[in-house]
Amino acid sequence: MSSSSSLKLNKVFDLTGRVALVTGGGSGIGLMIAEGLAANGAKVYIASRRKYILQKVVDEWPSQGAGVMIPLSLDVTNRDSILEAKKIIEQAEGKLHILVNNAGAVGPNTPFLNNPQAPEHKDAETLGNALFNDPGFDSWSALYSINTFSIYYVTTAFLGLLDKGSKDIPGYTASVINTTSISGITKLAQNHLSKSQFCYNSSKAAASHLTKMMSTEFALKGIPVRVNAVAPGVYASEMTSDTIEGIEAVARVAQSIVPVPAARSGTAGEMAGTIIYLASPAGCYTNGQEIVVDGGYLAVNPSTN
Protein backbone atom coordinates (compact mmCIF):
# COMPACT_ATOMS: atom_id res chain seq x y z
CA MET A 1 0.00 0.00 0.00
CA SER A 2 1.26 3.47 -0.93
CA SER A 3 1.69 6.05 1.79
CA SER A 4 -0.84 8.86 1.68
CA SER A 5 1.92 11.44 1.42
CA SER A 6 3.18 9.93 -1.85
CA LEU A 7 -0.25 10.40 -3.42
CA LYS A 8 -0.67 14.08 -2.60
CA LEU A 9 -0.86 16.58 -5.44
CA ASN A 10 2.43 18.21 -4.49
CA LYS A 11 4.14 14.86 -5.05
CA VAL A 12 2.24 13.34 -7.96
CA PHE A 13 2.27 16.51 -10.05
CA ASP A 14 5.48 18.07 -8.76
CA LEU A 15 7.53 19.92 -11.38
CA THR A 16 9.98 21.59 -9.02
CA GLY A 17 13.45 21.60 -10.51
CA ARG A 18 12.32 20.42 -13.92
CA VAL A 19 13.74 22.17 -16.99
CA ALA A 20 11.31 22.62 -19.88
CA LEU A 21 11.39 23.94 -23.43
CA VAL A 22 8.14 25.06 -25.07
CA THR A 23 8.34 26.00 -28.75
CA GLY A 24 5.79 28.55 -29.89
CA GLY A 25 5.51 29.47 -26.22
CA GLY A 26 4.80 33.18 -26.55
CA SER A 27 1.09 33.11 -27.31
CA GLY A 28 -2.07 31.01 -27.50
CA ILE A 29 -1.90 27.37 -26.46
CA GLY A 30 1.89 27.51 -26.14
CA LEU A 31 1.62 30.31 -23.58
CA MET A 32 -1.06 28.38 -21.66
CA ILE A 33 1.33 25.45 -21.48
CA ALA A 34 4.38 27.51 -20.51
CA GLU A 35 2.51 29.35 -17.77
CA GLY A 36 1.09 26.09 -16.42
CA LEU A 37 4.54 24.50 -16.21
CA ALA A 38 6.13 27.57 -14.63
CA ALA A 39 3.28 28.04 -12.14
CA ASN A 40 3.98 24.53 -10.88
CA GLY A 41 7.70 24.91 -10.35
CA ALA A 42 9.39 24.32 -13.70
CA LYS A 43 12.10 26.45 -15.28
CA VAL A 44 10.60 27.07 -18.71
CA TYR A 45 12.43 28.23 -21.81
CA ILE A 46 9.80 29.73 -24.09
CA ALA A 47 10.97 29.72 -27.69
CA SER A 48 9.88 31.56 -30.82
CA ARG A 49 11.28 33.48 -33.76
CA ARG A 50 9.66 36.61 -32.29
CA LYS A 51 11.78 37.26 -29.22
CA TYR A 52 10.11 40.60 -28.48
CA ILE A 53 6.84 38.75 -27.78
CA LEU A 54 8.64 36.31 -25.52
CA GLN A 55 10.33 39.13 -23.62
CA LYS A 56 6.97 40.81 -23.06
CA VAL A 57 5.59 37.56 -21.63
CA VAL A 58 8.57 37.18 -19.30
CA ASP A 59 8.39 40.79 -18.15
CA GLU A 60 4.72 40.38 -17.26
CA TRP A 61 5.13 36.98 -15.55
CA PRO A 62 4.68 37.38 -11.78
CA SER A 63 7.81 36.47 -9.82
CA GLN A 64 6.40 33.97 -7.38
CA GLY A 65 7.19 30.40 -6.45
CA ALA A 66 9.96 28.26 -7.90
CA GLY A 67 8.97 28.48 -11.57
CA VAL A 68 10.47 30.95 -14.02
CA MET A 69 10.25 31.65 -17.75
CA ILE A 70 13.20 32.49 -19.98
CA PRO A 71 12.94 33.79 -23.58
CA LEU A 72 14.83 31.86 -26.25
CA SER A 73 15.12 32.71 -29.95
CA LEU A 74 14.41 29.64 -32.06
CA ASP A 75 13.32 28.95 -35.61
CA VAL A 76 12.09 25.35 -35.50
CA THR A 77 12.44 25.02 -39.27
CA ASN A 78 16.16 25.82 -39.27
CA ARG A 79 18.73 23.26 -38.12
CA ASP A 80 21.35 25.86 -37.22
CA SER A 81 18.82 27.71 -35.06
CA ILE A 82 17.79 24.46 -33.35
CA LEU A 83 21.41 23.59 -32.58
CA GLU A 84 22.08 27.08 -31.23
CA ALA A 85 19.09 26.76 -28.88
CA LYS A 86 20.37 23.35 -27.80
CA LYS A 87 23.81 24.81 -27.09
CA ILE A 88 22.30 27.54 -24.90
CA ILE A 89 20.26 25.09 -22.82
CA GLU A 90 23.09 22.56 -22.64
CA GLN A 91 25.54 25.16 -21.32
CA ALA A 92 23.03 26.61 -18.84
CA GLU A 93 21.36 23.41 -17.63
CA GLY A 94 23.20 20.35 -18.91
CA LYS A 95 19.86 18.51 -19.24
CA LEU A 96 16.23 18.84 -20.27
CA HIS A 97 13.24 17.18 -18.59
CA ILE A 98 10.33 18.40 -20.69
CA LEU A 99 10.11 19.27 -24.39
CA VAL A 100 6.82 20.60 -25.72
CA ASN A 101 6.78 20.79 -29.53
CA ASN A 102 4.02 23.34 -29.86
CA ALA A 103 5.13 25.62 -32.70
CA GLY A 104 2.59 25.57 -35.52
CA ALA A 105 1.04 27.55 -38.32
CA VAL A 106 -1.85 27.56 -40.77
CA GLY A 107 -1.77 27.03 -44.50
CA PRO A 108 -3.27 28.14 -47.81
CA ASN A 109 -6.95 28.98 -47.78
CA THR A 110 -9.84 27.44 -49.77
CA PRO A 111 -12.76 29.58 -48.54
CA PHE A 112 -15.21 28.04 -51.02
CA LEU A 113 -14.87 24.48 -49.75
CA ASN A 114 -17.76 24.45 -47.29
CA ASN A 115 -19.96 26.88 -49.20
CA PRO A 116 -22.22 24.78 -51.46
CA GLN A 117 -23.38 27.95 -53.24
CA ALA A 118 -19.87 28.88 -54.34
CA PRO A 119 -19.30 28.68 -58.12
CA GLU A 120 -16.41 26.26 -57.51
CA HIS A 121 -19.04 23.59 -56.71
CA LYS A 122 -20.58 23.70 -60.19
CA ASP A 123 -19.32 20.19 -60.98
CA ALA A 124 -16.45 17.80 -60.21
CA GLU A 125 -14.20 19.29 -62.88
CA THR A 126 -14.67 22.83 -61.55
CA LEU A 127 -14.13 21.80 -57.93
CA GLY A 128 -11.08 19.74 -58.79
CA ASN A 129 -9.50 22.61 -60.71
CA ALA A 130 -10.21 25.05 -57.89
CA LEU A 131 -8.54 22.76 -55.34
CA PHE A 132 -5.66 21.99 -57.70
CA ASN A 133 -4.87 25.64 -58.35
CA ASP A 134 -3.97 26.50 -54.75
CA PRO A 135 -0.65 28.22 -53.88
CA GLY A 136 1.12 24.97 -54.71
CA PHE A 137 3.66 22.46 -53.46
CA ASP A 138 5.87 25.04 -51.75
CA SER A 139 3.04 26.25 -49.51
CA TRP A 140 2.26 22.68 -48.44
CA SER A 141 5.93 21.99 -47.77
CA ALA A 142 6.30 25.19 -45.72
CA LEU A 143 3.38 24.21 -43.49
CA TYR A 144 4.62 20.66 -43.03
CA SER A 145 8.05 22.07 -42.11
CA ILE A 146 6.52 23.85 -39.12
CA ASN A 147 3.76 21.45 -38.08
CA THR A 148 5.48 18.12 -38.70
CA PHE A 149 9.14 18.25 -39.70
CA SER A 150 10.06 20.50 -36.76
CA ILE A 151 8.87 17.87 -34.28
CA TYR A 152 11.36 15.38 -35.72
CA TYR A 153 14.32 17.75 -35.84
CA VAL A 154 13.80 19.49 -32.48
CA THR A 155 13.20 16.19 -30.67
CA THR A 156 16.22 14.44 -32.14
CA ALA A 157 18.45 17.44 -31.46
CA PHE A 158 17.47 17.46 -27.77
CA LEU A 159 17.29 13.68 -27.30
CA GLY A 160 20.66 13.48 -25.52
CA LEU A 161 19.71 16.24 -23.07
CA LEU A 162 16.35 14.56 -22.46
CA ASP A 163 18.16 11.30 -21.69
CA LYS A 164 20.25 13.18 -19.12
CA GLY A 165 17.01 14.60 -17.70
CA SER A 166 15.72 11.07 -17.15
CA LYS A 167 18.90 10.08 -15.34
CA ASP A 168 18.77 13.21 -13.21
CA ILE A 169 15.77 12.19 -11.05
CA PRO A 170 15.26 8.61 -9.80
CA GLY A 171 12.03 7.07 -11.07
CA TYR A 172 11.34 9.94 -13.48
CA THR A 173 11.49 9.78 -17.27
CA ALA A 174 11.84 12.85 -19.45
CA SER A 175 8.83 13.75 -21.54
CA VAL A 176 8.32 14.95 -25.10
CA ILE A 177 4.83 16.32 -25.68
CA ASN A 178 3.69 17.25 -29.17
CA THR A 179 0.78 19.60 -29.72
CA THR A 180 -1.22 17.98 -32.49
CA SER A 181 -4.91 18.78 -33.08
CA ILE A 182 -8.36 17.31 -33.50
CA SER A 183 -7.88 18.53 -37.07
CA GLY A 184 -5.49 15.62 -37.57
CA ILE A 185 -8.11 13.14 -36.33
CA THR A 186 -11.39 14.42 -37.76
CA LYS A 187 -12.27 13.30 -41.28
CA LEU A 188 -13.92 16.63 -42.03
CA ALA A 189 -12.16 19.29 -44.08
CA GLN A 190 -13.14 22.05 -41.69
CA ASN A 191 -11.62 24.92 -43.67
CA HIS A 192 -11.81 27.72 -41.09
CA LEU A 193 -10.19 31.15 -41.28
CA SER A 194 -6.82 30.93 -43.06
CA LYS A 195 -6.51 27.16 -42.74
CA SER A 196 -6.67 24.99 -45.80
CA GLN A 197 -7.70 21.95 -43.83
CA PHE A 198 -6.53 19.44 -46.44
CA CYS A 199 -3.00 20.73 -45.86
CA TYR A 200 -3.27 21.67 -42.17
CA ASN A 201 -5.23 18.58 -41.10
CA SER A 202 -2.94 16.16 -42.90
CA SER A 203 0.14 17.84 -41.40
CA LYS A 204 -1.34 17.33 -37.93
CA ALA A 205 -2.22 13.71 -38.74
CA ALA A 206 1.40 13.20 -39.74
CA ALA A 207 2.51 14.73 -36.44
CA SER A 208 0.27 12.29 -34.59
CA HIS A 209 1.81 9.28 -36.31
CA LEU A 210 5.31 10.67 -35.89
CA THR A 211 4.59 10.84 -32.14
CA LYS A 212 3.77 7.13 -32.05
CA MET A 213 6.78 6.20 -34.19
CA MET A 214 9.22 8.08 -31.99
CA SER A 215 7.79 6.68 -28.77
CA THR A 216 8.10 3.15 -30.15
CA GLU A 217 11.58 3.50 -31.61
CA PHE A 218 13.01 5.18 -28.51
CA ALA A 219 11.49 2.51 -26.25
CA LEU A 220 12.78 -0.35 -28.41
CA LYS A 221 16.25 1.16 -28.35
CA GLY A 222 16.28 1.57 -24.59
CA ILE A 223 16.16 5.37 -24.56
CA PRO A 224 14.24 6.49 -21.43
CA VAL A 225 12.35 9.35 -23.06
CA ARG A 226 8.57 9.20 -23.36
CA VAL A 227 6.80 10.75 -26.36
CA ASN A 228 3.11 11.67 -26.21
CA ALA A 229 0.79 14.17 -27.85
CA VAL A 230 -2.08 16.40 -26.84
CA ALA A 231 -4.74 17.07 -29.49
CA PRO A 232 -6.60 20.29 -28.60
CA GLY A 233 -10.05 21.12 -29.84
CA VAL A 234 -11.20 24.75 -29.99
CA TYR A 235 -8.99 27.02 -27.86
CA ALA A 236 -8.37 30.74 -28.13
CA SER A 237 -5.15 31.42 -30.04
CA GLU A 238 -3.72 33.48 -32.88
CA MET A 239 -5.08 30.82 -35.25
CA THR A 240 -8.62 31.39 -33.97
CA SER A 241 -8.49 35.19 -33.72
CA ASP A 242 -7.55 34.99 -30.02
CA THR A 243 -11.06 35.22 -28.53
CA ILE A 244 -13.88 32.70 -28.80
CA GLU A 245 -17.04 33.56 -26.93
CA GLY A 246 -20.45 31.93 -27.28
CA ILE A 247 -21.76 28.78 -28.91
CA GLU A 248 -21.91 30.34 -32.38
CA ALA A 249 -18.25 31.41 -32.25
CA VAL A 250 -17.17 27.92 -31.16
CA ALA A 251 -19.18 26.38 -34.00
CA ARG A 252 -17.65 28.79 -36.51
CA VAL A 253 -14.13 27.80 -35.48
CA ALA A 254 -14.87 24.07 -35.15
CA GLN A 255 -16.60 23.82 -38.55
CA SER A 256 -18.30 20.62 -37.35
CA ILE A 257 -21.39 18.75 -38.46
CA VAL A 258 -22.58 18.42 -34.85
CA PRO A 259 -21.82 21.28 -32.42
CA VAL A 260 -19.18 20.80 -29.72
CA PRO A 261 -21.08 19.17 -26.82
CA ALA A 262 -19.34 21.36 -24.23
CA ALA A 263 -20.73 24.42 -26.06
CA ARG A 264 -17.61 26.45 -25.30
CA SER A 265 -13.92 26.69 -26.03
CA GLY A 266 -11.31 25.06 -23.83
CA THR A 267 -9.66 26.88 -20.94
CA ALA A 268 -6.01 27.49 -20.12
CA GLY A 269 -6.38 25.31 -17.03
CA GLU A 270 -7.69 22.38 -19.04
CA MET A 271 -4.80 22.58 -21.50
CA ALA A 272 -2.10 23.20 -18.91
CA GLY A 273 -3.48 20.48 -16.64
CA THR A 274 -3.19 17.85 -19.38
CA ILE A 275 0.40 18.86 -20.13
CA ILE A 276 1.31 18.87 -16.43
CA TYR A 277 -0.04 15.32 -16.10
CA LEU A 278 2.14 14.06 -18.96
CA ALA A 279 5.23 15.97 -17.80
CA SER A 280 4.97 15.14 -14.09
CA PRO A 281 5.61 11.92 -12.13
CA ALA A 282 1.91 11.12 -12.59
CA GLY A 283 2.47 10.61 -16.31
CA CYS A 284 5.63 8.50 -16.19
CA TYR A 285 3.72 5.32 -17.10
CA THR A 286 2.16 6.97 -20.17
CA ASN A 287 3.98 6.65 -23.47
CA GLY A 288 2.98 6.77 -27.14
CA GLN A 289 -0.46 8.24 -26.45
CA GLU A 290 -2.41 11.12 -27.97
CA ILE A 291 -4.77 12.70 -25.45
CA VAL A 292 -7.72 14.51 -27.02
CA VAL A 293 -8.95 17.58 -25.11
CA ASP A 294 -11.82 18.84 -27.25
CA GLY A 295 -15.05 19.23 -25.30
CA GLY A 296 -16.49 16.16 -27.04
CA TYR A 297 -15.95 17.29 -30.64
CA LEU A 298 -14.63 13.95 -31.88
CA ALA A 299 -17.26 12.05 -29.93
CA VAL A 300 -19.98 13.40 -32.22
CA ASN A 301 -18.19 14.10 -35.52
CA PRO A 302 -16.53 11.76 -38.06
CA SER A 303 -13.01 10.88 -37.00
CA THR A 304 -10.32 8.24 -37.29
CA ASN A 305 -10.54 7.50 -33.55
Q: Give the pLDDT score at 194.
A: 44
Sign of the four-CA dihedral 82, 84, 88, 91: positive
Q: Give the pLDDT score at 244.
A: 46
Q: Give the pLDDT score at 221.
A: 98
Domains of the chain plus CATH, in order, are 4-299 (3.40.50.720)
Q: Give the pLDDT score at 116.
A: 85
Based on DSSP, count helices (H) and strands (E) in the chain, helices before strands. Answer: 11, 7
Q: Give the pLDDT score at 166.
A: 97
Q: Give the pLDDT score at 259.
A: 76
Pairing assessment for the beta strands 43-48 and 174-179 based on DSSP bridges: unpaired
Sequential DSSP letters for 65-122: SS-EEEEEE--TT-HHHHHHHHHHHHHHTS--SEEEE---------TTTT-TTSGGGS
Q: Give the pLDDT score at 240.
A: 47
Mean pLDDT by 10 residues, the chain (305 residues): 66 91 94 94 94 90 78 97 98 98 86 86 95 91 96 98 95 97 83 65 96 98 98 73 47 62 86 96 97 89 80
Q: What is each CA distance from 270 to 5, 7, 29, 62, 296, in whole angstroms?
A: 25, 21, 11, 21, 13
